[in-house]
Amino acid sequence: MDWRDQAIVLSVKSHGENGAIVALLTQEHGRQAGMVRGAHSIKQRGVLLPGNRVWASWRARLAEHLGALRCELVSAHAAQALDDPARLAALSSACALTLIALPEHQPLPALFGALTALLDALPHPSWPSVYVHWELALLRGLGYGLDLTTCAATGVNDGLAYVSPKSGRAVSLSAGEPYADKLLPLPRFLAEGGEGAPADITNGLTLTGYFLDRHVLSAHGLSFPPARERLVERVRGLSPTIP
C-alpha cells in the first residue's frame, strides 16, 4: 500500500530518539498518520510544523498499518505566523480542531480546500473573518451546516440578526427580538458578506463554537483544544484595526 498526496501537517509527536508520528490532512486520502524517521534533523525541522503544506508519500504493507511517511515542503505557513501570536493561535486552532473532529481515512477534499484557503489568508488583514468562515465550513463538511440565508420564522432574507440554537437557522431582528435572550447573535458579516470587526469575530466564534461543541465535540466526549481557547482570547484582545 502506498500513495502520494498533497497534505497539511496537523500534529507532530516525537517517537523514539529520532522519529515522530505525524498526523496529516490529505487532499484525496483524508486524515492520515505515519512515521517519519529522522524527523528532528535539521532538514526536517522546518518541514514538520503544524500548518505547513507538504507533498506526502506514505507506504505500508497494509492500509491499517502506521506507514512510513516522507514529506516535502510546499508552503511554510507556520513560519509566516510565528511572529504574530493571534495568527499563530488561528493556525494552531484550525490544525487542532481538524485533528480531533475529522474521521481517519475518509476523503474530505472540500475540507482540505477550506483549510488551505484559511492558511493562504493568514498573512492578510481579513484572516479573522476567514477563520470564522472556516469553522462554518468545518461544520458543513461534517454534515452540520447552518442556514444563514433566510429567516426561519418569516422566510425573508434581510434584517437577519440571530441564529436559533435548536435549528441552526437564521432569525430576523423583528421575529427574534422577543426571544433575543434565547438566541445566538448573528454577526452582520456572516449574513451580508465583507469583514467583521473584532466584536463581530468574537460573536462569530461564539456561534460556531456552540454548534461545534454540540454536534462534534460533546457528542463524542471531547472538549475544545487549548489552541482554540487561546484564539478566542487573542481575538478579544485585537484592536479595531487588525494589521
Q: Hey, what domains does the chain have and what are their CATH numbers?
A: 2-75 (2.40.50.140), 80-148+186-236 (no CATH)
- Long-range contacts, 73-82 (Cβ 8 Å, 24+): 73/46, 73/47, 74/6, 75/119, 76/46, 76/49, 76/52, 77/51, 77/52, 77/53, 77/119, 77/122, 78/9, 78/49, 78/50, 78/51, 78/52, 79/46, 79/49, 80/122, 80/123, 81/51, 81/122
Model pLDDT for residues 24-74, shown as the tens digit of each residue? 999 999 999 999 998 888 888 889 999 999 999 999 887 777 889 999 999
Closest CA to 51 of 91, 86, 20, 93: 91
> In this structure, are strands 160-163 and 184-185 parallel, antiparallel, or unpaired?
antiparallel
Mean pLDDT of 79-93: 94
Mean pLDDT of the chain: 93
- pTM of the prediction? 0.93
User: pLDDT confidence of 242, banded at 50, 70, 90?
Assistant: very low
Q: How far apart are CA 222 and CA 24, in angstroms?
A: 20
Q: Starting from the edge strand earliest in sequence, which strands make up the sheet with 170-172, in order?
A: 170-172, 160-163, 184-185
Say how far apart CA 69 and CA 119 lie, in whole Å: 23
User: What are the helix (H) ranges across 122-225?
Assistant: 127-141, 173-176, 188-192, 198-211
Q: How confident is the model at residue 3 (pLDDT cuts 50, 70, 90)?
A: very high
Distances in Å between the Cα of 74 and the Cα atoms of 24, 53, 119 are 14, 5, 12
Is the pLDDT at 119 greater than 70? The verdict is yes
Q: How many whole angstroms separate alpha carbon 155 and alpha carbon 172? A: 9
* The predicted structure's pLDDT at residue 241: 45
Neighbours of 159 (CB within 10 A): 15
SS3 145: coil
